[in-house]
Amino acid sequence: MIPEFYIETDKKKLDFAAIHHAIKSSYWGAYRTEEMTQSTIDNCLCFGVYLKETNVQIGFARVLTDEVVFAYIMDVIIFDGYRGMGVGKDLVSYILKYPTVKKVLTVALKTKDAHGMYRPFGFDRVGNSSMWMAKDHAKYD
């Protein structure tokens, strides 16, 4: 059963300990110290996913962007116990519709194992990279 949840960008609501634990447990963030995780939060647009009933955080993602040309989606993670329910897809959809991200010409991300999740959103592999994917709206004459 899919839990009722909401997504917001208020960094004050973020559960730092849960985020850091989830990222440290991932294949891409095992090297990160608490200071590194805090710096990534401080310097990005962050999205927290929370249960409606309890306000407990169940997911996280962040975006680094110049708000015009490029946005880089990072650390998309749904916490243990809530994966496989479509929460991650809803989070990515929310991010791509978010005004700051929606107007950007190129949105990129890296993934080792979730290409199938991102393809329906218009992401394609970049060149011969096994990890880089992008959604490009730039017009080149």
Is the full-model pTM beyond 0.85? yes
Please give the domain boundaries of the chain with CATH numbers for all domains: 5-136 (3.40.630.30)
Write out the DSSP string of 94-132: HHHHSHHHHT-SEEEEE-SS-HHHHGGGT-EE-TT-SSE
Give the Cα separation of 96 and 98 in Å (integer). 6
pLDDT of residue 3: 78
Q: What is the mean pLDDT of each run of 10 residues along the chain (141 residues)?
A: 89 98 93 96 98 97 97 97 93 97 96 94 94 87 64
* Torsion angle of the four alpha carbons 96, 101, 105, 110, in this order, in degrees rounded to the nearest 10: -70
3-class SS of residue 47: strand
pLDDT of residue 141: 64
